[in-house]
């Protein structure tokens, strides 16, 4: 048998295999979903963790605390977005106020529900651009790329990638970033679908998801740059208006949420900016949200070169993928994806908070990860004549327009329910069910958990403090706090009708025991126990995630 005949036979066999795969999307996607869940479970077992606690940035405490209070129709200072706390509120009805207690349910929600949704949405996005084959290829990359990247990093970076970033990227934490990425992806999917004729309701649904993404993390508004470019290139003016109309309720709700919880809109600066800049009654505090530094970006690229196998491939792959989309004549899609990725890189990657060395770069750019990976997946279409030989296999599958009832349902879930909960909630007042821990880099609203029971007993001139608590979803340690000031151990203050109670104590000890002896406390001392944990089970790391109520020294 000649080489030519063997090649022809192999080509025909490959063609039949491709056709069989194209005809069985449910089988292919079901396999990929199962594979993703299995790989995530394996990573969960291999990455450094402490029970259900993986590396997290600290925002998980305030998000779960806000959800716990919202579930009781109480409203703390609204430092975070509204949608992720809202989703956690029903969970806290059964688990308690801390993220450690809620982690099993949150992990199941992320890995078993939101993870497959993200995978299917990414497949649908890719297939709507280059047919089911591109959809399969992109979905495969979505599943395996985080793991394939592991050996491409320098061994010195292994902990930051595997133990610190991947658990967040795969939904094993209570941070809002995973949900944020899923919502941005869903919004982009329906923007692409709405670029076809007569898809006004698809555009409206894209706007609803976009609004929910902004309501989860306001910086997700950067996706709007890509959406605006996509509609402009496609000249879909009605769809662009529908997208804006679908987004508007969530933006109004976000403003209402911030005003109800803070008494003002953070994006508007008052006296300080007005006096410094000579502005009018209101001034837009842009520097707080826009801090672009070219020198910082160069430093980050130097860090990428230090830790990654081939920084040039990582840097130029999006440009190659963008050119591939242009070769496929997907001009509006190229504008959407390119604008989406570029906006996040410029406004988040150029910001000093994004650090490859510290690992925060990857988390801050998570909402743009689907755009990057989609451009990477499109690179094979740079091969000359490949698209022509694939023929109809790169044609987007037929889809039905979104029905209005799905837009209404999505709006009720993402806007209606949060709006009712926000309006029905009352602002917290002293004695507050949360206290604020202050740090040099910010503060954390932390729940006061009445299940942590503290007892004091006078022994000679000292105090013997004991406590009971738990059970927790990981190994914990305790911080013993003492206040020697008369009155409460917190300082409560109000701003525009919003109360915050700041902890005013000294740390006496850090221990894993359930008791502590204070040999010579001042008269009138008050004690409080803080329960802390972290991914490494290290008593020198981590934040306190729950406080006991204050207990006076025994007489």
Comparing 5-9, 13-17, 87-91, 247-251, which segment has the lowest mean pLDDT? 5-9
Q: Are strands 498-503 and 551-552 parallel, antiparallel or unpaired?
A: unpaired
Q: Does residue 98 carry a pLDDT above 90?
A: yes
Q: Are strands 426-427 and 74-75 parallel, antiparallel or unpaired?
A: parallel
Average the pLDDT over 364-374 and give the result. 97
Return the domain boundaries, the chain. Answer: 1-116+127-175, 434-552
CATH architecture of 434-552: Sandwich (2.60)
Each as own residue / partner, the long-range contacts of residues 178-181 (CB below 8 Å, 24 or more positions apart, any chain) are: 178/110, 178/114, 178/366, 179/83, 179/84, 179/87, 179/110, 179/114, 179/216, 180/84, 180/213, 180/216, 180/217, 180/220, 180/366, 180/367, 181/118, 181/366, 181/367, 181/369, 181/370
Residue 391: the pLDDT is 73
> Across the chain, what does the average pLDDT equal?
90
What percent of the chain lies above the pLDDT cut of 70?
91
Residue 489 phi/psi, 5° resolution? Answer: -90, 15
Closest CA to 171 of 52, 263, 10: 52
Q: Which residue has the higher pLDDT, 295 or 277?
A: 295
Closest CA to 437 of 428, 452, 450, 447: 447
Q: Does residue 474 carry a pLDDT above 70?
A: yes
Residue 283 banded pLDDT, cuts 50, 70, 90: very low
Show Cβ contacts of residue 180 under 8 Å, excluding neighbours closer than 6 positions: 84, 213, 216, 217, 220, 366, 367
Q: Are strands 490-495 and 477-483 parallel, antiparallel or unpaired?
A: unpaired
Residue 496 banded pLDDT, cuts 50, 70, 90: confident
Residue 170 banded pLDDT, cuts 50, 70, 90: very high
Q: Does residue 273 carry a pLDDT above 70?
A: no
Q: For the chain, how big is the Rg over CA atoms in Å?
A: 26
Q: Are strands 515-518 and 462-468 parallel, antiparallel or unpaired?
A: antiparallel
Average the pLDDT over 86-109 and give the result. 96
- What is the CA angle 140-142-147, rounded to 5? 95
Residue 277: the pLDDT is 41
Residue 274: the pLDDT is 38
Instruction: Please state the pTM of the whole predicted model.
Output: 0.92
Q: Does residue 165 carry a pLDDT above 90?
A: yes
Comparing 36-50, 118-132, 229-243, 255-269, which segment has the lowest mean pLDDT? 255-269
How far apart CA 180 and CA 184 sit, in angstroms, is: 6
Contact 435, 501 (CB under 8 A): yes
pLDDT tens-digit readout, 313-355: 999 999 999 999 999 899 999 999 999 999 999 999 999 999 9
Show Cβ contacts of residue 50 under 8 Å, excluding neighbours closer than 6 positions: 474, 475, 533, 534, 535, 536, 537
Q: Does residue 105 carry a pLDDT above 90?
A: yes
Residue 142: the pLDDT is 98
Q: CA torsion angle for 264, 268, 269, 275 (degrees, to 10)? A: -120
Classify residue 159 by its DSSP letter. I
Query: Over the range 30-56, which residues count as b (16 or more CB within 10 Å of their CB) and which as e?
Result: eebbeebbeebeebbeebebbbbbbbb
Helix (H, G, I), strand (E, B) or coil at 536: coil
Distances (CA, A) of 98 to 93, 210, 507: 11, 28, 21
Q: Does residue 443 carry a pLDDT above 50?
A: yes
Residue 5 banded pLDDT, cuts 50, 70, 90: low
Comparing 24-28, 158-162, 270-274, 443-447, which segment has the lowest mean pLDDT? 270-274
- What is the CA angle 179-182-183, rounded to 5? 85
| Axis-axis angle for helices 115-148, 3-22 (nearest 10) | 150
Query: Over the range 520-552, which residues count as b (16 or more CB within 10 Å of their CB) and which as e?
Result: ebeeebbbbbbbbbbbbbebeebbbbbbbebbe
Residue 495 banded pLDDT, cuts 50, 70, 90: confident
């Amino acid at each position: 048998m000649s080489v030519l005949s063997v090649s022809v036979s192999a080509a025909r066999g490959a063609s039949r295999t491709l056709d069989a795969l194209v005809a069985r999307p449910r089988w292919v996607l079901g396999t990929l979903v199962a594979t993703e869940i299995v790989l995530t479970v394996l990573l969960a077992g291999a990455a450094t963790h402490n029970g259900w606690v993986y590396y997290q940035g600290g925002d998980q405490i305030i998000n779960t605390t806000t959800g716990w209070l919202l579930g009781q129709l109480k409203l703390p200072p609204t430092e975070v977005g509204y949608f992720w706390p809202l989703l956690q509120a029903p969970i806290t009805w059964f688990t308690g106020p801390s993220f450690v207690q809620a982690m099993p349910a949150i992990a199941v929600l992320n890995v078993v529900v939101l993870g497959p949704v993200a995978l299917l949405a990414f497949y649908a996005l890719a297939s709507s651009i280059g047919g089911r084959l591109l959809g399969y290829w992109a979905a495969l990359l979505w599943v395996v790329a985080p793991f394939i990247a592991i050996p491409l990093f320098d061994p010195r970076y292994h902990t930051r990638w595997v133990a610190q970033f991947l658990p967040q990227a795969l939904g094993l934490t209570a941070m809002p970033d995973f949900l944020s990425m899923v919502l941005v992806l869903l919004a982009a999917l329906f923007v692409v679908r709405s670029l076809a004729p007569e898809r006004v309701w698809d555009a409206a649904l894209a706007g609803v998801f976009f609004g929910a993404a902004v309501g989860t993390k306001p910086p997700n508004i950067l996706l709007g740059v890509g959406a605006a470019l996509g509609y402009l290139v496609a000249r879909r003016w009605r769809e662009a208006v529908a997208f804006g109309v679908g987004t508007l309720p969530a933006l109004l709700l976000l403003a209402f949420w911030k005003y109800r919880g803070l008494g003002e809109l953070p994006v508007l600066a008052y006296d300080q900016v007005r006096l410094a800049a000579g502005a009018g009654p209101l001034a837009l505090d842009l520097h707080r949200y826009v801090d672009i530094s070219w020198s910082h970006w160069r430093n980050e690229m130097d860090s990428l070169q230090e830790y990654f196998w081939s920084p040039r491939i990582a840097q130029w792959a999006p440009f190659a993928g963008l050119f591939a989309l242009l070769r496929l004549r997907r001009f509006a899609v190229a504008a959407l994806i390119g604008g989406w990725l570029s906006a996040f890189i410029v406004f988040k990657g150029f910001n000093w908070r994004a650090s490859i060395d510290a690992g925060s770069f990857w988390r801050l750019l998570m909402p743009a990860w689907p755009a990057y990976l989609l451009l990477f997946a499109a690179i094979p279409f740079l091969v000359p004549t490949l698209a022509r030989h694939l023929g109809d296999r790169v044609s987007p599958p037929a889809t039905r327009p979104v029905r209005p009832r799905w837009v209404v349902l999505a709006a009720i879930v993402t806007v209606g329910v949060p709006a009712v909960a926000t309006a029905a909630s009352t602002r917290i007042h002293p004695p507050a069910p949360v206290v604020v821990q202050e740090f040099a880099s910010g503060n954390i609203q932390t729940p006061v958990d009445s299940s942590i029971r503290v007892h004091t007993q006078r022994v000679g001139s000292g105090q013997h403090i004991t406590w009971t608590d738990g059970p927790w979803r990981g190994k914990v340690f305790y911080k013993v706090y003492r206040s020697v000031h008369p009155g409460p151990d917190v300082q409560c203050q109000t701003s525009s009708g919003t109360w915050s109670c700041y902890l005013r104590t000294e740390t006496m000890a850090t221990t894993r025991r359930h008791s502590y002896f204070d040999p010579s406390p001042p008269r009138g001392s008050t004690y409080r126990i803080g329960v802390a944990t972290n991914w490494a089970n290290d008593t020198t790391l981590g934040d306190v995630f729950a406080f006991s109520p204050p207990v006076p020294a025994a007489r």
